[in-house]
Chains A and B, each alone.
Chain A
Amino acid sequence: MLLECHNIQFRYPGSETLLFHDLHLKFDTPGFHALFGPSGVGKSSLAKIISGHLVPEGGVVRFNGKGRPLYGYNLERLPGWSSVGRHLDRVTPGHHRALKEKLVSAFDLEAIMDQHFSQLSLGQQNRINLLRYLVQDFDALIMDESLANVDEKTRGHILLTIKTIFPDVLFLYISHNVVEVATFCRDIQVLRGTHKSPRVVKVQGRDCRSGADVDRQLLQNTMLEIMNAA
């Protein structure tokens, strides 16, 4: 077991109803996994509980890795006083310089290194934000709609790159795109509405890797399974 949420109880301050009641879920292996579900079921809240930003009323989060899982989301901004290149240099540990260069190239961001964050398109902003997380020392990263504004082709390319470069890291990918989740993720934890039981259903994704073709029939079955679970 790499990451486990055990008996999580959580409600937002001022709310009478529990968002999570004895919630269980776990990820046994590293790899590219997903948290999926309709809006409002608590994906981001669960991600914040896992990363330590929210404290549950009850239950425990166990993580067998260094520190806490990192949590990045698509609305984050880089400070405006320096170029994105300079910012990346500052936040990249010395031993990850080469990794940074590799990712900049893979994410197709070389041309914008001299620009300020506010001058970038939303898709470029998403990519640069994700990139700065990837050059940190981490064992788990939650990507909360981190590529929401990136076009589909680039998004696919980025996800495959990440899976190739970081095979031993746990990724939790939060997205509303069922095709993408079914295609690229391995364990898909589908969060359901508060009135449904069980609250979480696990679906096996296709876990597509670079260079491998996807069986379209199996993919469709997975997608159906996800939709039925939700």
Chain B
Amino acid sequence: MLLRRIYQFLMIYLLGVLCLLVIKVAADLSDYVIPGIDALWLSVRDVGWRYVVDVLDTLRVAVIGQVLSIGMALFIGILGRQATWFGSFIKVAAYNVQAYPIVAIAPIIFILLGDGFVSRLLIAAMICYFPLLLSVVGIMSQPIPDVEHFYRQTGRMRWQLEVKIRSFENLSKLTTVIVGSATLAMAGTIVAEFIAASAGIGYSIRIALYQSDLAKILVALFMIGITLSIYQGILEWVGSAVKKVWAR
């Protein structure tokens, strides 16, 4: 699973670079527009290790942001799962908050909280929590009558048990959503860093853009892609391990 993700990413990345090189040769473009292999290699040598550190810093924020948003989505999803007034209020409030594009809110966050760790974390969490919330609300508000019936009949149903049943029955769906949200958490962190932070791979991409250095950006994209593939692979593995242990 993990290896498959890695080689699939490598294939896509190499294909992308190959396309760029074909365009470069076909249109006789300079390294300024599309860097050649040698320019790419030089950039790897110059900034490769620094970018590894940067991308790990970004991943650290993304992971914490994702964990926070999973917690937040579960909390709101569980509160909003019931077809009550309160449930519907929670859902509407959560959806409305998401209606504002995070990129538009981000500058306010940076002004209020500065350009450090907390702002990056908050933006990452905000970007990845909504799809999670939609899925969690969907899963949590959908009864599993064939399993829940007995507990309701016998007066044993508690909200914890209801959440447990619905989570277990939808574990594959939840795993897929969590794996997908990893991409959003990473993208959110990078966007935050790109806009205003002073650390992480998004910040490095910003500097590379200032310097019009596409080679560095391609190296950064590689680091982001490979890190994200590994992270997603690990999440998938954890998901299937949880399922195995839970269903044992």
Given contacts A79-B165, A80-B168, contact A133 B246 (CB under 8 A): no
Interface string of B169-195 (1 = CB under 8 A from A): 100000000000000000000000000
The number of chain A residues touching the other chain, given as a range, is: 10 to 19
Roughly how many angstroms separate A203 CA and B156 CA in the complex, as a whole number? 37
Contact A136 B154 (CB under 8 A): yes
Contact B246 A81 (CB under 8 A): yes
* B245, chain A: closest CB distance, angstroms: 9
Among B149, B156, B246, the most chain A Cβ lie within 10 Å of the Cβ of B149
Contact B153 A81 (CB under 8 A): no
* A116, chain B: closest CB distance, angstroms: 6
Other-chain contact of B153, A70, A79, A80 (Cβ < 8 Å):
A70
Contact B150 A76 (CB under 8 A): yes
Roughly how many angstroms separate A91 CA and B150 CA in the complex, as a whole number? 10
Interface string of B153-164 (1 = CB under 8 A from A): 110100000001
The number of chain B residues touching the other chain, given as a range, is: 10 to 19
Contacts of A71 in B (CB 8 A): 149, 153
Contact B150 A132 (CB under 8 A): yes
Contact B168 A79 (CB under 8 A): yes
Roughly how many angstroms separate A101 CA and B153 CA in the complex, as a whole number? 22
* A200, chain B: closest CB distance, angstroms: 25
Q: Judge whether B147 is part of the interface by a CB distance below 8 angstroms.
A: yes
Contacts of A77 in B (CB 8 A): 146-147
The chain B residue with its CB closest to the CB of A129 is B150
Of the A-B pairs whose beta carbons lie under 8 Å apart in the complex, a sample of 6, sorted by A's number, is: A70-B153, A71-B149, A73-B149, A76-B147, A80-B168, A129-B150
